[in-house]
Amino acid sequence: MAEQVTTGRPSSALRRALIPFALAQFICSFAGSNMNVMINDISKDLDTTVQGVQLAITIFLLVMAALMIPAGKLTDRVGRKRCLTVGLIVYGIGALMSAVAPGLGILILGNSILEGIGTALLIPPVYILTTLLFTNLTSRARAFGAISAMGGIGAAAGPLIGGFITSVFSWRASFLLQAVIVAVIAVLSRRWVRDPLPPDPSRPFDVVGAVLSAVGLVLLVTGILAADDNLWLMTGLLLAGALVLTWFFLSMRSKERAGRDVLLSMRLFHSRTSNLGLITQNLQWLMLMGTSFTVSAYLQVVHGYNAIETGLIFTATTAGLLVSSLAAERMAKRRAQRSIIIAGFAVTTVGVATLLTMVSGSSAVWTYLPGLALIGLGLGAMLTPSVNIVQSSFADELQGEISGLSRSVSNLGSSIGAALAGTILVAGLTTTPERSYALAMVAVAAAGVIGLVAAIFLPRTVTPMPAVAPARREPAAG
């Protein structure tokens, strides 16, 4: 595969390799949002509740977030392409199990656990291999942009595609479609993807760090889910999650100072620009998934919309996201990435406010369209610049590590969005639906305001941080 070309344009072989990468990100993002329009169908078929479906969605997103960083480090030991293949197989098995699930428990095992594990195994190799194969910085930025855009489109189009399949066939057919697409990705990656670096089985793996990070994130999101059941339990879980994550970060710092191999290098948090960029990434996905679940559940449970009607309403978001994503490269030539992210959060927050004011007390379809379209436009504009800012904050040697952290932070945002907005909505969906809907959307809007503030503090230009820590950080001998 010819990676280096004097013009900076990737070879045809590399462009082919980008196809399975983009499809992989698309299907994983699609899986996180398409179930939102199946809430009523799944609830009736499996004899469960809206809260049960929300739990399945949130666990899927949480498993992805909790295992993304450990899986990224595992690729060094077993090989990136092999890890990608195993992830696709596990995901496919989970999708098939979900398609035939007789109850909520099997659905959670297949969709939430196995598909979540499969996603965590296959996404880090996608970004690491992209970094290794696209050696030209310009072509790499475009490749990341294409993959991120496909992720956003998958999340935005999930309700429409899922709604169509559910209405015409069954919600189970959506999982069969995922299995078929995963099989196609496996065939394409086998033909068109190569791993330029051999695996290193002797490389140590930080098991303790992996456990601490996973447990901390699980406790944190579980605490949010417990908000409508028991205030004391929620507080206890959130506190426990914060303490475990603090233990994790202190452990990483101590091991790194001792020269040991760690799960997550603390050097990745030495860049103020990257830290702010990660915050914007997290909040973008929180807003997308929070809005998607809240509006979908409200339409189906309160107003009685079916899956296809709900999906069609979300066409406004998909269209907005497509328009701004396609214009992203042209905008990047005219405006600084910081400016695009600021504008993106502003437009998205206005979209959420529009949904809140126009939809309240009305079931008319047209009242949803302006707000959802604005949300799509805002998110589509800023998804790629946020990824580029984070990736550009580090030298080539740290691209693999920051890719794993970036994906984990984005998926954590998705899981928090589904848990936070979903919990607020479900708490009063059957008693005070209007009030619950309003409170959930206010929470999403608040995330947009926080993201806007973080974006304002981003620098106008990004300077990569060196791969090796500065000499002043190392104590002198003796």
Kindly report, residue by residue over 424-466, the tens digit of the pLDDT: 887 776 678 888 888 999 999 999 999 999 999 998 877 776 6
The residue-averaged pLDDT of 378-394 equals 84
Quick count: other Cβ atoms within 10 Å of Cβ 177?
Answer: 18
3 state SS of 442: helix
3 state SS of 130: helix
Cα–Cα dist 138/159, whole Å: 33
For 102-141, what is each residue's pLDDT tens digit? Answer: 999 999 999 999 999 999 899 888 888 887 888 776 777 6
Which carries the bigger pLDDT value, residue 56 or residue 465?
Answer: 56
Q: In terms of Cα–Cα distance, which of 122, 138, 140 is closest to 130?
A: 140
Give pLDDT, residue 276: 94
Instruction: Express as a percent the part of the chain with pLDDT over 70.
Output: 91
Asked if 322 and 380 count as a contact pair (C-beta separation under 8 A), the reply is yes
> In this model, does residue 32 exceed pLDDT 80?
no
pTM assigned to the model? 0.81
Give pLDDT, residue 301: 83
Q: Position of tokens 């791993």? A: 195
Give pLDDT, residue 184: 95
For 295-322, what is each residue's pLDDT tens digit? Answer: 888 888 888 888 888 888 888 888 888 8
**What residue type is assigned to position 166 of the chain?**
T
Q: In terms of Cα–Cα distance, which of 269, 284, 261 is closest to 402?
A: 269
Give pLDDT, residue 478: 34
Which carries the bigger pLDDT value, residue 105 or residue 198?
Answer: 105
> In this model, does residue 477 exceed pLDDT 80?
no
Taken as a whole, the chain contains a residue count of 478
Q: Position of tokens 């009523």? A: 40
Give pLDDT, residue 282: 93
- Residue ranges per domain, the chain? 14-194+270-465, 206-258
User: Where does the pLDDT of residue 342 fall: very low under 50, low under 70, confident under 90, or very high at 90 and above?
Assistant: very high
Give pLDDT, residue 286: 93
Asked if 156 and 173 count as a contact pair (C-beta separation under 8 A), the reply is no
User: Where does the pLDDT of residue 361 fall: very low under 50, low under 70, confident under 90, or very high at 90 and above?
Assistant: low
Q: In terms of Cα–Cα distance, which of 120, 96, 94, 119 is closest to 108?
A: 94
CB-count exposure of residue 461 (10 Å: 0-12, 13-18, 19+): exposed
Give pLDDT, residue 267: 87
The residue-averaged pLDDT of 393-417 equals 79
Cα–Cα dist 353/257, whole Å: 47
**What residue type is assigned to position 68 of the chain?**
M
Give pLDDT, residue 407: 79
Q: Can you name the residues that pair with 394 across neighbouring β-strands?
A: 465
User: Where does the pLDDT of residue 5 fall: very low under 50, low under 70, confident under 90, or very high at 90 and above?
Assistant: very low
> In this model, does residue 13 exceed pLDDT 70?
yes
The CB-side HSE value for 113 (13 A sphere, CA atoms) comes to: 8
3 state SS of 200: coil
> In this model, does residue 71 exceed pLDDT 80?
yes
Angle between helices 137-168 and 12-33 (to 10 degrees): 40
List alpha helices for 265-314, DSSP H.
Answer: 272-297, 307-313
> In this model, does residue 26 exceed pLDDT 80?
yes
Residue ranges with strand state E in 301-451: none
Which carries the bigger pLDDT value, residue 227 or residue 355?
Answer: 355
Give pLDDT, residue 7: 47
Least confidently predicted of 47-61, 135-149, 190-204, 462-476: 462-476
Quick count: other Cβ atoms within 10 Å of Cβ 217?
Answer: 26
For 268-281, what is each residue's pLDDT tens digit? Answer: 898 899 999 999 99
Instruction: Express as a percent the part of the chain with pLDDT over 90.
Output: 29
Tokens for 229, please give them: 């059941």
In order of 42, 176, 342, 347, the CA distances from 165 in angstroms are 13, 10, 36, 31
Cα–Cα dist 252/193, whole Å: 33
Give pLDDT, residue 363: 64
Q: In terms of Cα–Cα distance, which of 401, 412, 122 is closest to 264?
A: 401
Asked if 244 and 212 count as a contact pair (C-beta separation under 8 A), the reply is yes
Cα–Cα dist 345/382, whole Å: 8
Q: What is the largest CA-CA distance in the chain?
A: 74
Question: What values do phi and psi take at 465, rounded to 5?
Answer: -80, 140
Dihedral over alpha carbons 115, 120, 121, 124 (to 10 degrees): 140
Tokens for 478, please give them: 């003796």
> In this model, does residue 334 exceed pLDDT 70?
yes
Tokens for 235, please give them: 């507080």
User: Where does the pLDDT of residue 359 fall: very low under 50, low under 70, confident under 90, or very high at 90 and above?
Assistant: confident
Note the CATH number of domain 14-194+270-465: 1.20.1250.20
Highest-scoring range by mean pLDDT, 26-40, 201-215, 279-293, 453-467? 279-293
- E strand or H helix at 237: helix 231-257
Q: Position of tokens 């695009």? A: 340
> In this model, does residue 200 exceed pLDDT 50?
yes
Question: What values do phi and psi take at 394, rounded to 5?
Answer: -135, 155
- Residue 468 is given by DSSP the state S
Give pLDDT, residue 17: 86
